[in-house]
Amino acid sequence: MVKYEELVDFIIKNIGGKENVISLTHCVTRLRFQLKDEAKANDEALKSHDGIITVMHTAGQYQIVIGNHVGDVYETILPKLGLNGEVVETKNKTSLKDKFVDLVSSIFMPVIGMLCACGMIKGLNTILSFTGLYSSTSGLYTLINAIGDSVFYFFPVVIGYTSAKKFKLTPFVGMVIGLALCYPTINGTDLSILNFKMNVSYTSTVLPVILTVAVAAPMERMLNKFIPDVIKSFLTPMIVILISTILGYMIIGPVANTVAGWLSDGILNIYSISPVLAGIVFGGLWQVFVVFGVHITFIVLAIMNLAAGHPDPILSLQAFVAFSQTAVVLAIFLKTKQKKLKSLCFPAIISGVFGVTEPAIYGITLQRLPMFIISCIGGALSGAYAAFAGLKYQQMAGMGIFEMPAMFPQNGTGAAMIQCVIASAFAIIPTFIAAYVFYKDDQEDSVGKGGVSEEIAQPIKGEKIPLSQVKDDAFSQGVLGKGIAIIPSEGKVYAPFDGTVVTLFPTKHAIGIVSDGGCEILIHIGMNTVQLNGKYFKSYIHQGDRVTKDQLLVEFDIEHILQEGYNLETPVIVTNTKDYSDINTNVNDHNIALIAKA
C-alpha cells in the first residue's frame, strides 16, 4: 500500500537490507523477522521512527512492533523483500526455548485470526439466542453454530497446512493428512487393523497431525531424491500420504492424544489447586509474557483444551488485562500536560479497548515502570475475580471487548455476562484511580534523562545570529521550527548531543539528528547549497548511525562554497518545536538552546 512505502523502505534499510532477511511472518502487532545477522540491524534508528513502536530480540526473532496496521505493512514489505510469506527454516544458532516458541508461532499464529473469527460467530450465536431473537433449537441457530464450529472440527486440516509449511512438506500433502485423520467413517468407530482393535478420534485435535506431518516431511524429501521426475508429482505424495497417515492413525495419534490429555489435565490440576492464586499469577504476569513474546504458548495450550472439548480456565484469567492497561493510559491521558504524550495515549486507548496493548505497553507504561506495575496489579485483581467467579473460555473469540463472548456458555449466558462486567470493573477502577493519583509529569517525562530540560550544544564554530535574520522565509519565519543560525568560522559540523542520525541528504548539506530524549534537530549548511550536489562536502556518518556529543559529522569547504556565490548562514532548528513548552536560544557561548518539555 502506497501509504506505507516510506516506512517499509526505512525498515528494509535499517535491518541490514533485504539480503539480510531469511524469512518474515507477523502476528497481531509485530513483524517477526528471521535475520542472517541481527547485528546489522539498527535498533535505535528503527525505534526513532514514528511508525514503529519498539524493537525486540526474542524467540530467535527480530521483532518490530508496528501496531494495529501491521497486516498492511506486512503486505507492502513482502514483495520488496522478494518473499511470498512462506516460513523458511533458519540455520542460526538458537536456544531450545526459542526454537520451541518459533515452532509454535509458525504453526499457530497464521490461524489465530480465523479461530477468533469463528469463536466470535459462536459467541454472537449464543448472545442472540439468549436475547430471544431465535431459539437454540432453530435451524438458524444450528447453521450459525456449524459455521462457528467448522474450523475447530476440521482443525487438523488447517494445522496440517501450516505444519507442512513449517516442516517443508508440500502444503497440500499436509492438508490431505489432516483430512484423512478427520474422515468421519474412521473417527470414533471400532476398527480391527492387523488384529489390533482401535477406536480413536482425531477431529478437533492438534498434536496428532503436527507429529504426523513432522514424520511425513523427511519422508517426502527422501523419496524425491530417488523417484524419477516424470512420476514424482503423484507417486511421492501417494506414498507419503499412505504411509504417514497409517502411522499417524495407528501409532502417532494415540500417543499424541495421550500426551495432549496429560498437558490438559496438568493445567486443569494446577488451576484446581487454587483458582484465585492462578488468577493472580496469570492475570498479573500476562503483560510480562506479552513483552517477552511467550504468551503464544499458553494460547496454544488453551486451543488444545478447547479442541478437546474442555472449557479452558487459563485464557479467562487474562481476558480483562487489556482493560487494566487501558485504564492506566486513560489516567495518564487525563492528567498529563504534555501534548506529545497525550497524542500517544489516545490511539493506545482505542487499541486497548479492542485488546491490542502493545502500543500502550511499549509506547507509554513500560517507560514509566510504576504505571506498568499498576496495570499488572489491575490484571492480577481481574484474574483473581475471574477465577473466583469460575469464568472459563468456552470457545475462541476476539480480543478486548470482543473477548467476553468466549466465556458465555450456552446455558447461563446472563450470569456470565454479569461476571464479565464485574471482572472488567476490577481491572479498570482500581488501576485508573491508582494511576491518576500517582502519575506525575516529572523528570522521567522530560527531554533528556536527568532533568526537565536538554542542552543543545553548538554544532559549528562561528557567530550566532537570530533565525529571523536568515535570508530564507521558511527558516526566518520559524515555519520549520525554532532555533538559531550560525555564520561558520570553521567548516566542521559536530553532534550537538548523543543521538541517532535520522536524515543525511545525499548532498550532505543537511543533517537530521534525534537525541536520546526525543529532540529532533536539523542542521542546514548554507542556503541553496543543495545545488552543489555534494561538492565541497565530506560526510563521516551515515543515516541511521548512532552518534555521541561532539563527534565529527560533516566537513565542508567554506572558502570554495563562498567563491561559488553561496550564503553560508546555517540554521540549526528544533523541528519538533510543538512538543516543547519553551525553547530558550539566549544561552551561553557553548550552547545554542535549552529546551523544556511541555
Residues marked active site are found at: 27
The C-alpha atoms of residue 148 and residue 421 are separated, in whole angstroms, by: 24
Collapse the DSSP code of 527 into the 3-class scheme (helix H, G, I; strand E, B; otherwise coil) and give the result: coil
Closest CA to 161 of 103, 210, 105, 207: 210
Q: What are phi and psi for residue 32, nearest 5 degrees?
A: -115, 100
Element (H, E) at 64: strand 61-65
Max Cα separation, the chain? 99
Strand order in the sheet with 552-556: 492-494, 552-556, 537-539
Cell numbers given for 423: 471482572
Three-class DSSP labels, 172-203: HHHHHHHHHHHCHHHCCCCEEECCEEECCCCC
Residue 138 backbone zone (phi > 0: left; psi -120 to 50: alpha; other: beta): beta
580 CB contacts (<8 Å, ≥6 apart)? 447, 519, 574, 595, 596, 597, 598
Collapse the DSSP code of 279 into the 3-class scheme (helix H, G, I; strand E, B; otherwise coil) and give the result: helix
| Amino acid letter, residue 287 | Q
The C-alpha atoms of residue 328 and residue 359 are separated, in whole angstroms, by: 13
Burial 400-411 (b: 16+ CB within 10 A, else e): bebbbbbbbeee
Closest CA to 119 of 282, 355, 323: 355
Q: Are strands 552-556 and 492-494 parallel, antiparallel or unpaired?
A: antiparallel
Residue for grid cell 492438534: 206
Residue 533 backbone zone (phi > 0: left; psi -120 to 50: alpha; other: beta): left
Q: What are phi and psi for residue 384, nearest 5 degrees?
A: -65, -40
The C-alpha atoms of residue 355 and residue 358 are separated, in whole angstroms, by: 9
Strand order in the sheet with 453-457: 453-457, 591-597, 580-584
| 592 close to 483: Cβ distance less than 8 angstroms | yes
Cell numbers given for 197: 482393535
Residue 551 has a CB neighbour count (10 Å cut-off) of 14
Closest CA to 210 of 249, 259, 256, 263: 256
Cell numbers given for 137: 433449537
